[in-house]
Amino acid sequence: LKVREVLEAKGSKVVTIEADATLRSALSRICEDRVGGLLVLNRAGKLDGIITERDIMRQVHQRADLEQVKVADVMTKTVKVASPDADIEEVEYAMTEGRFRHMPVLDGDEIVGVISIGDMVKANLREVKSHMEHLIDYLAVPLVD
Ligand code: AMP
C-alpha cells in the first residue's frame, strides 16, 4: 500500500499556521479543525516546521503564556516527510522510531497532504478486510467437475 492511496482515501486537506503566530492561535486552530497538529509554513508557502498538540501540552505544563510564546519557539524544525510513492510500511517505521504521529507528504517541494497514525490504522484495516473478502470469495467458489 502506497502513501498516495492512503491520501486518496482521506483527502489532501492540510491545516497550517505561520511561524510568528502565537500558541493560542495554534491551539484554537487545532481544536476548531479537529486535528492533532499543524504544518508551519513560511511566507513562500513552503514547509518550515510542525507543531502538534503534544508540543502545546508541554508548554501548558510549563505554564507558558500562550498569548506570548510564538509557534516558531516551540515547533519541530527538522520535519520527517514522506513521498506519495513511499510504501506505508516506511511511514509506519519512521513514526514508530521517531515517536511522532504526523507525517507531511511532499511531492518534490509541494505539500500534498498529511498522514496521521489514525489514517494508517484505517488504511491497514481496509486492506485486511479486502484480503479477507477475497479469500472468502476464493474459498466459496463451487467446485465443478
Ligand atoms: P505527535 O506524536 O505527532 O503529536 O508529535 C510528537 C513530537 O514529534 C512533537 O514534538 C512534534 O512536533 C514532533 N513531530 C510530529 N510530526 C513530526 C514529523 N513528521 N517529523 C518530525 N517531528 C515530528
Instruction: Give the global pTM.
Output: 0.90
Q: Is the CB of 38 under 6 A from ligand 1?
A: no
Output the CA–CA distances (angstroms, integers) from residue 58 to 8, 51, 54, 64, 72, in the order listed. 33, 11, 6, 9, 15
Q: What is the pLDDT of residue 9?
A: 87
- Cα of 57 to ligand 1 centre, how many Å? 13
Q: How far is the CA of 19 from the centre of ligand 1 (A)?
A: 16
pLDDT of amino acid 36: 96
Q: Is 76 in the pocket of ligand 1 (CB under 6 A)?
A: yes
Of all atoms in ligand 1, which is nearest to the CA of residue 101? 3
Q: Which three cell numbers stand for residue 144?
A: 465443478
Q: What residues contact residue 16 under an 8 Å CB cut-off, 6+ apart?
A: 38, 39, 40, 41
Residue nearest to atom 7 of ligand 1 (CA): 100
Return d(Cα 26, Cα 42) in angstroms, integer: 15
Stretches where the chain sits below pLDDT 70 are 143-145
Cα dihedral value 32, 28, 54, 115, nearest 10: 40
